[in-house]
Structure 1
Amino acid sequence: MSSSADQKTSDYLFTFECPDRLGILAKVANLLFEQGAFVTESFHYGDPQTKTFFARMVFNDDVLRSSIEGLREKVSALGKELEMKFALRRADYRPKVLIAVSKYDHCLNLLLTKWRAGALAIDIVGVVSNHNDCRSLVEWYGIPFHHFPITPETKPQQEAQILDLFATTGAELLVLARYMQILSDKMSRELEGRAINIHHSFLPGFKGARPYHQAHDRGVKVIGATAHFVTGDLDEGPIIAQEVKPIDHTFTAEDMVLVGHDTESVALANAVRLFSEQRVFLNGQRTVVL
């Protein structure tokens, strides 16, 4: 903390989850008050089924009475009492993101556009693909492109390459932007809570391949897309964001695919934004978004 009159105020993001009980918010709020953390945003939710409490707070250090590390130590001490898992970081922190794509570039293109425009507060550390189709687009943005071909026989080695790239770049999130490969159980477990997929259907309906054709066969009146965390079960991961578009009986399956490009791109970009702002909490098979 500095007493300088022209010291710039910094914002910090504090998120936590713990077993729900009486007085959690009061204890946390009192600690922040005593330390001079000026809270500007506060959202919380107690799940009556899982008995878990989730919270996301933003505060500034304008009148903070100690250093951030000093505050972190006090939060850690309270965290032991409350069995709390927490994160405390600057609000302008940009998580490092690795993107995986195959041939379809619509989801990738919106992510890159929003990133370049500053609408996604992330640092894209690279794009990996099993094809070369998106190389020119990625390199035009000045982002490293990694071509990792894959066959059924080389799948373990190719996934090891992706995991190694994830580690060496310091990536915190893998985004499957229409990456048309099913991750192995091993890779899904290693990236639990750190990999987001876009499925071109409004889950839990129409899982697996050709969902638009499945939807067309059933005569649906809305189509959608679902961004979810990756798990070992195909298209079963906790849902983060969804988008829908109305259609009618005149739409062919091919028309639906084209309309779906918008819902897929927007749903995935929203999910990445929510993750980057640390708004998404895993809650069993579901998510809490604050």
Structure 2
Amino acid sequence: MTAPALDAPDASFIERLSAHFGAESITAYRARQDAMLAALDRFRAVPRIRTEAERARAWTAKQLLGSLWCHLVNSQDRRAAEVAGLEHQWARALARWSGRLLARTPEARTIARYLCWHRHYCGFVPEHVVEVAAAYGVLRRFRREWEPRRLFVGVVGLYAKVGDNTFTLDWQGRHHRRYSDVCVPQVFGLHPYYEAFIQTPAGQAVAAALPPLEPDYVDESFTTHGDAKHAARVPALRRSERLRVRELLAAPVRVDPTHGAIDVADPGVPASGAPRTRSATELSEAKHVQSFDAA
């Protein structure tokens, strides 16, 4: 990596840092930003995005404008506001294109929100929940660079503002994080209860049948939950959504007088020919699920 401090002793800390992360000298960094500023008129006409190739070009244009804006702000250049306006226009075009990937039905949105919730219903069968969520199209599989042999599953179809690094103050002097809109489709992590199932052999088989992430999803699409920069608030399920979750995701159960509670969705007949019966823990969870319908 090039040491940026050697060719420009007058460079600011921000310029040194930007050049360092770009693996270029400060002279090259300044030249790139000056060339971008000279070609600014080419970015004024924002086309309507209709294809994946146009989306990729629009995303590149927004990134270039964002880098130029940071450079102008750090240089205290008055043209920073103009560049910010252009970047916002490209972001709006990308947001309109990304809107086609949002969940369209209340059922799909509710299931996706439940999988991102900070709670879970212990009576739900993880395999059944994942299969239902996959049928509603809110799950995608992907691999991580540091663990390429395993499949991971993300929740898609939702939109959530993400945290900024600026805050407001209320009348009591408490800080409240600001949240900003996003222009790319988002991928959220599963609740740990279901993520643990995905990492089992049975879960890996289920994950392999899921569709992969579309090219629209970029590195910035992966969104965590919490109070942090680039993180979204944890969704809060209303009572109506909780009732809908119980109706959609509770595995159907029938009680057999001879063999006990048996899954209707997955009868599971072992090699002996007798229906698979549930353990004491599973029976207790089944009663917990049944109590939802009675409530």
**TM-score, length-normalised on structure 1?**
0.24
Give the structure with higher Rg (CA).
2
Structure richer in strand, relative to its length: 1
More helix by share: 2
TM-score normalized by the length of structure 2: 0.24
